[in-house]
Amino acid sequence: MLPLSGLTDEQLHQAADRFGTPLYVYSAAELDAALGRVQQAFSGTRIWYAMKANPNLTLLRRMRAAGVGFECVSAGELARAEHIGADAEGILINGPAKSDAEYAAGARLGATFILDRPEEVALLPAHARVLIRVNPGLPVSTHDHLATGAADSKFGVRPDELPATLSALRDAGHTLQGLHLHIGSAIRDAADFGAAFERVAALRAMTGPLEVLDVGGGWGLDADLHGIAAQAQAAAAVFGAALWVEPGRYLVARAGVLLTRVMGHKTTGRAFTLLDAGMTELLRPMLYGAEHPVRALWQGEQQQVSDLAGPACESGDLLGRDVPLPAGATRGDLLALLDAGAYGAAMSSNYLTRPRPAEALWDGQEWQVIRRRETVQEVWAAEE
Residues carrying an active site annotation:
313
Separation CA 369–CA 373 (nearest Å): 9
Q: How far is the CB of 305 from ligand PLP (least distance, A)?
A: 30
The C-alpha atoms of residue 169 and residue 165 are separated, in whole angstroms, by 6
Over the window 182 to 211, marking each residue x when it contacts ligand PLP by CB under 6 A and - when it does not, the resulting string is x--xx-------------------------
- Show the site string, 208-237: x = touches ligand PLP by CB under 6 A, - = not: --------xxxx------------------
Residue choice 50, 86, 109, 166 for contact with ligand PLP (CB under 6 A): 50
Question: Is 44 marked within a binding site?
Answer: no
The total number of residues written for the chain in this structure: 384
Q: How far is the CB of 300 from ligand PLP (least distance, A)?
A: 35
Interacting residues with ligand PLP between 63 and 82 (CB under 6 A) = 71
Residue ranges in 163-182 that form contacts with ligand PLP under rule CB under 6 A: 182
Shorter beta-carbon distance to ligand PLP: residue 22 or 217? 217
Residue 218 annotated as lining a ligand binding site: yes
The helix/strand count (H/E) of the chain reads as 12, 17
Least separation in angstroms between CB 303 and ligand PLP: 32
User: According to the annotation, is 62 in a ligand binding site?
Assistant: no
* 228 Cβ contact partners less than 8 Å away, ≥ 6 residues apart: 41, 190, 193, 219
CB nearer to ligand PLP: give 56 or 94: 94
Q: Which is nearer to ligand PLP, 34 or 186 (CB)?
A: 186
CB of 133 to ligand PLP, least distance (A): 7
Minimum CB separation of residue 327 from ligand PLP in Å reads 36
Kind of pairing between the strands at 256-267 and 334-337: antiparallel
Q: Whose CA is closest to 342, among 49, 45, 17?
A: 49
Distances, alpha carbon 2 to alpha carbons 7, 158, 167, 242, 335, in Å = 9, 47, 57, 40, 15
Could you give the 3-state DSSP secondary structure of residue 274?
strand
Is the bond into 22 cis (omega within 30 degrees of 0)? yes
Distances (CA, A) of 107 to 94, 116, 275: 13, 17, 45
Which CB, 219 or 362, lies closer to ligand PLP? 219
Task: Output the smallest distance, CB 182 to ligand PLP, in A.
Answer: 4
Q: Which of 249, 226, 232, 258 is nearest to 335 (CA)?
A: 258
Judge whether 311 is annotated as a binding position: no
- Rounded-to-integer distance, Cα 137 and Cα 24, Å: 37
Interacting positions 241-300 with ligand PLP (CB under 6 A):
246-250
> Residue 284 annotated as binding?
yes
Interface segment toward ligand PLP; rule CB under 6 A; list 3-11, 27-35, 48-56, 159-167 = 48-56
Residue number, 248 or 357, with CB nearest to ligand PLP: 248
Give the separation between CA 156 and CA 147, rounded to whole angstroms. 12
Shortest reach from residue 251's CB to ligand PLP, in Å: 8
**Buried-state track 334-361, b at ≥16 Cβ within 10 A, e below 16:** bbbbbbbbbbbbbbbeeeeebbbbbbbb
> Rounded to the nearest 10 degrees, what angle do helices 57-65 and 75-83 cross at?
60
Contacts (CB under 6 A) with ligand PLP, residues 95-134: none
Q: Where are the alpha helices (DSSP H) in the chain?
A: 9-19, 28-41, 57-65, 75-83, 100-109, 162-171, 191-201, 204-207, 225-239, 249-252, 284-288, 376-380
- Residue 94 lies near ligand PLP (rule: CB under 6 A): yes
71 or 333: CB nearest ligand PLP: 71
In terms of CB distance, is 188 or 371 closer to ligand PLP? Answer: 188
Residues that bind ligand PLP (CB under 6 A): 50, 52-53, 71, 94, 182, 185-186, 216-219, 246-250, 342
Q: Can you say which residues are annotated as belonging to the binding site for pyridoxal 5'-phosphate? A: 218, 246-249, 343
Q: Can you say which residues are annotated as belonging to the binding site for substrate? A: 249, 284, 288, 314, 343
